[in-house]
Structure 1
Amino acid sequence: MIEGENDLMNRVPSRPPLSCRTSPPQGGRAALRVFLAAALFALASPVQAASVSDQFRAWLDADLWPAAKAQGVSRKTFDAAFAGVSPNLKLPDLVMPGEKPKPPKKQHQAEFGSPGNYFAEKTLQPVTSGGRARVGRVSQTLSAVEKRYGVPGEIVLAIWGRESGFGAAKIPYDAFEVLGTKAFMATRKDMFRKEVLAALTILQKGFATRAMMKTSWAGAMGQPQFLPTSFLNHAVDADGDGIRDIWTSTPDTLASIANYLKHYGWVSGRDWGFEVSVPDSVSCALEGPDRGKRISEWASMGITRVSGKPFPAHEAKAEGYLLMPAGRAGPAFIVTPNFYVLKEYNESDLYALFVGHAADRIAGGDRTFSGSWGKVGGMLRSDIAKLQERLEAKGYDVGGADGLPGYKTRRSIGEWQAKNGQAPTCFPSQALVRSLP
């Protein structure tokens, strides 16, 4: 999957329609100029949309069609895919032709917003209760999947529930409208170009009909929410009917999810991670998959499980990694390599943590984290990007100034704070923006 863009439970709202008043506002000539400018913009918008649509059709014929033809797509398939398709300018993360990309001001994706909101019971409960309700119904399939792929059934159920509400979520977008638009004018159009070409291959080879090609706003398909390349690489025919049906077949859906995780290195027999208490003597800047230690070493530094139980013996001997997704303002974890396999499904710490936590609840009953989430995550994405740029200018590796506070950003914040005599929090804040020159 791609970074955080397969979440059907938190849809991106369409842009509100531009409204303009029927009479000028009060306030003299300046107000009149504002009114006239707004009116002219409203009149120009359809023209701009028409121009983009014309450029889109020209791009399809001159650029995308030759690439599709080279990989074996027929003109008949290509024309059927894009018949009546126009660019959808309401999709997020688009760059108008001729403009340069800018980090979005607001955060569209729930996976990169406020951590506490992401783990609200109203979001967790449907996944955990729905997972438990389906354990008995699909037990035979889950047993076969776990035996073949080594992925626990509760992990597969948690992903299925999170991605599509166990197949109940509506998937309303046309695949070629979304993927075509993003391949033409998204901030990551090279990636979406590969996806739209893969979607054409799916259609050409008869793996799905044109009517079946419905996606999320980010182009992800079916109950597992696979991008087209993921479908080609990981989808499985588990029910033996000769079709890799991730749209209506539960066995195919569950096996495909597990196969995806196996292909990305799921380690059979290991957990995903443990909630822990981290003493002040252990720096939050030690976070990250590149700063791993044997779990027994973490324990020797004073890190303990919140349950009071010791780490399992087989885990203590293996490598683990510190995870503090809200810095000192939230729960902390020691995670295993399997946590980072979950991140291959959706490149977000919160997403992987949600899946692991929901799986634990499906298997062992509902319980919340011991640590509480502080009031963090309310900053604009554009403000975080500015903070990252300032840290980069000082030589810190923040993983890119994209406005997303990943582990490299969090630990860079902690390192800068410690160096400048501040108590490390390892999370962006408005106060930090003001204090970091």
Structure 2
Amino acid sequence: MANRMEQRFETNQSKMTHADSRGRFYRRPVMLLLLAGLTACAAQTGQAPARPAAGATAAQPGAAPAVPAVPDQDFDTWLRAFKTEALAKGIARRTLDGAFAGVTPNPRVVELDRRQPEGRITFSRYYENTVPPRIERGRRMLAENAEVLSRVAGTYGVPSRVVVALWGVETSFGVNQGKFSIVRSLATLAYEGRRAEFFRGELLNALTIMDQEGFSSEKMVGSWAGAMGQCQFMPSSYLKWAVDFDGDGHRDIWATRADVFASAANYLKQNGWVPGEGWGRRVAIPANLPRGLTGLETRKTLAEWQALGVRLPGGADLPAAEMTASLINPGDEGNHWLVYENFRVIMRWNRSTYFAMSVLSLADEIGR
């Protein structure tokens, strides 16, 4: 896999010589069904990893899961108290009555919340399960939605190929949004989940969305942990960044592609996307590179990396560009990249380097 991936990067580089001279180019898994999702809502909300995307069941290895909560009251008693709180926070009674009609805890959500991660997966396997299967469809989606994507790019400064790649990795271009009731799932997790207070807040946010947008609970579907729509926003992320791009009065990230694309692009813009700047490049490192320099916590200028002996594959000098970069080695598999600020922006969406590398690599392939 490594050789095939390197060939893709090198081919892209050879087609972008002018951009590379300025240090600016975009290099870019269905998200692998066993990985990455648990970190995505975390990045969007500033919380610790909490949810998978619609099709995911486990996360990239991280901290051990929190101990499941043990409810000290029955669900109906808990729900009555929650409704009282929601009313006090301004949620309309009609919204509460509609949202919670017949709602009971979902045992499947409890099972998924308590499931242990299934162990490490290599970056090579993650990449191969994520990027190659989406390239051709990604190109079709880019062409099919070119007009609206162009308007989104003009408004938010995020390249169309990046938006399409993010859409593709999150929900396979809108196909795998999840079929769980968001209200039921969040109520279950707020009642007896590992992070009850976090999900209690997200449940209140979901009810706020229903109030503001007039959406029914049937409309509000997504992953078991509350991520919604084709861009898998948690309710708090929706309230901050969802956009009504088609002007119909609703921020519909379930069925309206214009809103999906604009919402994703708005998130990236508001989280620091740098228009016109690339995300990173594959590099070769010297055998005597000091230990401890690999990781996003270390930032150096390209000139400083050059002085340390870091070069482009084949030995050419790094571009003479005024940019800072971090050296990463995804999965400790021997390949190294210098990554820029836009890579960090994708990691604010999902704190997995596997996810960010795959999204951005897919964007490069889609744009070829």
Which TM-score applies when normalising by structure 2?
A: 0.77
1:263/1:290 CA distance change after superposition, 3 Å: same
**Aligned position for 2:122:** 114
The alpha carbon displacement at 1:320 in A equals: 0.5
**Aligned position for 1:152:** 159
**Aligned position for 1:393:** none
CA distance in 1, matches of 2:249, 2:316: 47
Of the three residues 47, 55, 66, the one matched with 2:84 is: 66
Is contact 1:94–1:186 with CA below 8 Å preserved after alignment?
yes
Is contact 1:6–1:218 with CA below 8 Å preserved after alignment?
yes
The answer to whether 1:132 aligns with 2:131 is no
**Aligned position for 2:102:** 84
Secondary structure of the residue aligned to 1:304 is coil
Matches within 5 A, 1:22-421: 55-62=74-81, 64-91=82-109, 94=113, 105-107=116-118, 113-120=121-128, 122-283=129-290, 285-306=292-313, 310-313=317-320, 316-327=321-332, 329-364=333-368
* CA deviation map 1:162-184 (0-9, x unaligned): 11111122521110121112222
Which has the higher relative contact order, 1 or 2, with Cα contacts under 8 A spaced 6 or more apart? 2
Q: Percent identity?
A: 36
The alpha carbon displacement at 1:52 in A equals: 6.2
Which TM-score applies when normalising by structure 1?
A: 0.66
Is contact 1:6–1:346 with CA below 8 Å preserved after alignment?
no
Unpaired runs of 5+ in structure 2? 1-40, 43-48, 59-69
1:78/1:163 CA distance change after superposition, 3 Å: same
The alpha carbon displacement at 1:195 in A equals: 0.9
CA distance in 1, matches of 2:105, 2:282: 45
Unpaired runs of 5+ in structure 1? 13-50, 96-103, 365-437
* CA deviation map 1:37-61 (0-9, x unaligned): xxxxxxxxxxxxxx96962221121
1:260/1:207 CA distance change after superposition, 3 Å: farther
CA distance in 1, matches of 2:336, 2:51: 25
Is contact 1:270–1:338 with CA below 8 Å preserved after alignment?
yes
* CA deviation map 1:287-338 (0-9, x unaligned): 233310002211221212337665444xx311111112223x3422111111
* CA deviation map 1:55-86 (0-9, x unaligned): 22211212x22331122112331132122222
Is contact 2:185–2:224 with CA below 8 Å preserved after alignment?
yes
CA distance in 1, matches of 2:180, 2:334: 36
CA distance in 2, matches of 1:199, 1:153: 29
* CA deviation map 1:122-171 (0-9, x unaligned): 43223222111122211121221111111111110100111111112252
1:84/1:53 CA distance change after superposition, 3 Å: farther
1:207/1:335 CA distance change after superposition, 3 Å: farther
- RMSD between superposed Cα atoms in Å: 2.4
**Aligned position for 1:427:** none
Is contact 1:93–1:187 with CA below 8 Å preserved after alignment?
no
